[in-house]
């Protein structure tokens, strides 16, 4: 059985989608969720779904081996960032080469980098009158949103769309594609 650890910072809709997708799988399961936000709604979702969840601070994540040791003891086959907002430390990436992936709410390399997440991305897409946007699933490296691209899915942006319309389209792409791409990676 393949083991997935999810990192999230906010509401956890992508984390819940992954947990539910793999709940009855014979091949993989989400074994744990880690968050940098002790008030994140993802913690409530995990409690409801009976999934182990741990909140940590910046020191535990990037200045000590606390989070690294949690990961080592969990022995994940894949670490999935699902709305996780902190840059991943190189020393953790080095322990799990090509095993850390992220989902980004734009078609990278556009609208990536520090500070480009959630509504910030959707506002930029609308402000720049983009005709399309989408999601990118990519490997995580030492720089924000610069790891090798695994998968992209696109959607049209209409001139009448506002940021909330774009957010809804992106959310639908995430829900439809993210678990399938994770499953393919694990079975690849």
pLDDT at 156: 98
CA distance 108 to 106: 6
Give the closest residue to 4 by CA, choosing from 92, 88, 96, 87. 96
| Rg from Cα positions in the chain | 16
pLDDT at 155: 98
Along the 188 residues of the chain, how does pLDDT read in single tens digits?
A: 999 999 999 999 999 999 999 999 999 999 999 999 999 999 999 999 999 999 999 999 999 999 999 999 999 999 999 999 999 999 999 999 999 999 999 999 999 999 999 999 999 999 999 999 999 999 999 999 999 999 999 999 999 999 999 999 999 999 999 999 999 999 98
Question: Which residues belong to the active site?
Answer: 104
Q: What are the structural domains, with CATH classification, of the chain?
A: 2-187 (3.40.50.170)
92, 119 Cβ separation under 8 angstroms? no
122, 105 Cβ separation under 8 angstroms? yes
Instruction: Please give the DSSP secondary-structure letter assigned to residue 90.
Output: H
Give the closest residue to 51 by CA, choosing from 59, 43, 60. 43
Whether pTM > 0.75 for this model: the answer is: yes
φ/ψ of residue 29, rounded to 5: -155, 155
Query: CB-based burial of residue 147 (10 Å sphere; 0-12 exposed, 13-18 middle, 19+ buried)?
Result: buried
144, 136 Cβ separation under 8 angstroms? no
């Amino acid at each position: 059985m393949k083991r997935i650890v999810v990192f999230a910072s906010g509401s956890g809709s992508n984390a819940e989608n992954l947990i539910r997708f793999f709940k009855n799988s014979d091949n993989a399961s989400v074994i744990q969720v880690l968050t940098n936000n002790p008030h994140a709604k993802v913690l409530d979702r995990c409690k409801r779904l009976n999934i182990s969840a741990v909140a940590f601070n910046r020191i535990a994540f990037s200045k000590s081996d606390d989070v690294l040791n949690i990961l080592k003891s969990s022995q994940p086959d894949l670490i999935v960032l699902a709305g996780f907002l902190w840059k991943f430390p190189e020393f953790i990436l080095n322990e799990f080469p090509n095993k850390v992936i992220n989902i980004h709410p734009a078609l990278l390399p556009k609208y990536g980098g520090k500070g480009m997440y959630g509504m910030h991305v959707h506002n930029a897409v609308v402000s720049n009158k983009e005709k399309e946007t989408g999601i990118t699933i990519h490997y995580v490296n030492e720089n924000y949103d610069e790891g090798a691209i695994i998968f992209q899915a696109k959607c049209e942006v209409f001139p009448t769309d506002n940021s909330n319309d774009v957010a809804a389209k992106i959310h639908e792409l995430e829900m439809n594609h993210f678990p399938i791409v994770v499953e393919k990676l694990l079975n690849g």
